[in-house]
Amino acid sequence: MQDSGYRQKNYRASCILYLASLLLFANNAFAEELKLQPLIDEALKNNHELIASGLKVSTSKYKIPQAGSLPDPMFMFGYQNEGYDRTNYGKSPDAQWMYSASQTFLFPGKLSLKEEMATRDSESLKALYESAKLATIARIKELYYDLFLTHKNISLIRDKTALFSRIEDAAIARYSSGMAPQQEVLMAQTEKYMLLEKEEMLKQKLQFIEGMLNTAVGRDVNSPLGIPVEPAQTSYIYNIDELIKMSHSNSPLIKSREKMIAAAKTKVNMAEKEYYPDFTIAGSVFERRGEFKDMWSLTTTINIPIFYKTKQKMAVLEAESALSEAKHELEAVKLMLSSNIRENHSMIKAAEKLTDLYRNGLIPKAYQDFELAISGYVTGKVEAITVITRLKSLIDYELLYWGQFIEREKAVTRLEAITAVCNQHSARPALQNKIEASVNQGEKEK
């Protein structure tokens, strides 16, 4: 009776898993594919941080003509009277209406330097905007790869749950025939339920990644996303020296710092120009009445920089210090990019070796070991713990394979952002084809 109860429970559990698999297959079959390039295009249009960075560039361009313009001219009018007791306009030579217009002219070269400073600042912001575009593209790609990996892990876990069901069936059969204790049945069921627990945790992670991807694209966080298309392996043939050279030539961050250095040099020249005075030209008319003739005057006002030791000299020192700071920032950025290039290049090479090891060595061997172990377990030659351990190893290897595959693609993405060079994708034989071939071979051998 107890054996019959186990069979009934197992049959119900198998039916539930079968129905769940059918529902999953139907859901995946009709789910809309999520492709990478449309997400990137949408993010470049709708990402709010990127839009704000672009608006900063537009805003800075409006400052250029302002910096190259003269100060506003001044107009003055007034009345001058002689005495306090009464108005004596037309009766006194000093009673008159006064009108004056004046214009301040900067010392030659100052206006062009101001305009050049504003232009360099705008160019620096434009380079930062290009850097933000590359960072946005890299962010979308990395989140897309994380989303694919999470979906892939869920799919792998669901597939391997069926393999644990095979162990459970074998354990129940052996228990029914008195060849194995009940503990082996419970052990197989526990491992299967632990996979279901891991699947639920991955589903929670899936919601988190989808929210972050929607935010990066510029969508509402609850917008639905399809299932990512399996990415092809990106070819990357550059060595470290080539990557560093490309980053120094193409990186918007470096270009931005170079523009900042150019702006700082212009500011030094401008500060030195402040030693020279500006001048204001004013023309005045004095209107009088009666026998008194109208008068006019033309004057020039010049500022005298007598406090140059505490003002102009300090301004030059300040500008030179800012120039030195900008130069050191450029060198720091170059060193940072070189370090990031070395790190990501190393990650690519390590991931390539590991994925090749998993794909061509560990995963096929682990699957064969599992098939041999479960065959031996059915005949009583192998213990249940051995079968479970080998299946868990197979699961771990497949998860590690896809993890390393995605880490490689993310490292390539980061290098693309650093060097501002896009790479082509090459065709890659799917790992699943190899696994399925191994499965089919195992079925034939059985």
pTM: 0.79
Which is nearest to 147 in space by CA: 78, 227, 77, 72? 227
Can you tell me whether residue 79 is helix, strand or coil?
strand
- What per-residue confidence (pLDDT) applies to 165? 74
Which is nearest to 429 in space by CA: 446, 405, 445, 399? 405
DSSP-assigned letter for residue 174: H
Which residue type is seen at 323?
Answer: L
10 Å Cβ neighbour count for 384?
23
CA distance 13 to 353: 40
In this structure, are residues 409 and 231 in contact, taking their beta carbons and an 8 Å threshold? yes
Which is nearest to 200 in space by CA: 163, 251, 157, 258? 157
CA distance 126 to 435: 49
In this structure, are residues 162 and 189 in contact, taking their beta carbons and an 8 Å threshold? no
Q: Write phi, then psi, for 212 (nearest 5 degrees).
A: -65, -40
DSSP-assigned letter for residue 106: P
CA distance 145 to 233: 12
Q: List, as own/partner pairs, every contact residues 366-373 make where C-beta atoms lie below 8 angstroms and the sequence separation is at least 24, other chains included.
A: 366/390, 366/393, 366/394, 366/397, 367/394, 367/435, 367/438, 367/439, 367/442, 368/438, 368/442, 369/393, 369/394, 370/163, 370/394, 371/442, 371/445, 371/446
CA distance 48 to 46: 6
DSSP 196-238: HHHHHHHHHHHHHHHHHHHHHHTS-TT----EEPPPPPBP---
Q: What is the mean pLDDT of each run of 10 residues along the chain (446 residues)?
A: 46 47 46 85 92 93 93 93 83 88 94 94 93 93 94 88 74 69 72 82 91 91 88 86 92 94 95 93 90 89 91 94 95 95 94 92 88 78 77 87 94 92 54 46 47
- What per-residue confidence (pLDDT) applies to 31? 57
CATH of 32-70+108-274+311-445 among 3.40.50.150, 3.40.640.10, 1.20.1600.10, 2.60.40.10 = 1.20.1600.10
CA distance 369 to 377: 12
- What per-residue confidence (pLDDT) applies to 123? 93
Which is nearest to 408 in space by CA: 360, 340, 355? 355
Can you tell me whether residue 177 is helix, strand or coil?
coil
- The residue ranges of every structural domain in the chain are 1-30, 32-70+108-274+311-445, 71-105+277-305
- What per-residue confidence (pLDDT) applies to 395? 87
In this structure, are residues 3 and 176 in contact, taking their beta carbons and an 8 Å threshold? yes
Residue with tokens 């594919």: 33
Q: Are strands 279-287 and 227-228 parallel, antiparallel or unpaired?
A: unpaired
